[in-house]
Structure 1
């Protein structure tokens, strides 16, 4: 192992270098709220559109796992994963309210359903705060931009 390779590995845990951002409680709390907001609607969706109910279970579980990882490990890969998962949840919400999803067309135009509003606020908060923390962590680690090296 070269010295250069060894230096890049120093200080990294299993999932990457700890970020130690002072605002990490924000995405953690938002993830818990996002996960909890989906639990009450799982049974109805399992009956009406089983794939949505299953996706809600997966989203709730992923939200709680990511919240735990951020609370306990605070690693950059968890912030990136949080941004992706919450971004996809937001996209699914927008699709369900605009063009609709198979088997649940009754949500089209229903933007102000209370648990939907709670989940969107929590998902957006988790997504945006995770992006901000990941970008800041990248800058602190010296990753300012992607560049192609010429041979």
Structure 2
């Protein structure tokens, strides 16, 4: 049974479904980008980060659909922010042992990813803040 304090009635079913679908889209984009579920990108730490992101995105979608909105929206914010930062760092200064994407700002899949993650961030961050305010009242 979900903890009542972790659910927020003001979070609509449509918002939770949209958040869940956006999380699943983030996971799918990263599976495609890495070349499949069983493939791990190089360098190894980037590949592991992709797998962690994909797993957390799916878990987050489930949490949102189960109305566990406070942890769901918190994780959804992370699912959005993590890859956004990864995109910026990998294309600007590069990452340790990973400079292949420096300057590659217009890659189609990367731009789709930015759009999905941006939409998720715009949905998740305010919803998480509302869930915190609800807890305090």
Aligned with 1:103: secondary structure?
coil
Where structure 2 has 5 or more consecutive residues not aligned to the other structure, the ranges are: none
Map of 1:121 onto structure 2: 115
Match 2:92 to one of 76, 94, 98: 98
Map of 2:59 onto structure 1: 65
Where structure 1 has 5 or more consecutive residues not aligned to the other structure, the ranges are: 1-10, 144-151
Could you say which structure has the larger radius of gyration? 1
CA distance in structure 2 between the partners assigned to 1:76 and 1:48 by the alignment: 34
Give the aligned CA root-mean-square deviation in angstroms.
2.4
Map of 1:56 onto structure 2: 50
Output the TM-score relative to the length of structure 1: 0.75
CA distance in structure 2 between the partners assigned to 1:132 and 1:57 by the alignment: 26
Q: How many residues align?
A: 132
Runs of 4+ in 1 over 4 A off after TM superposition: none
Map of 1:27 onto structure 2: 19
Match 1:38 to one of 30, 35, 43: 30
Q: Is the 8 A contact 1:34 1:118 kept in 2?
A: no
Q: Is the 8 A contact 2:8 2:134 kept in 1?
A: no
Output the TM-score relative to the length of structure 2: 0.82
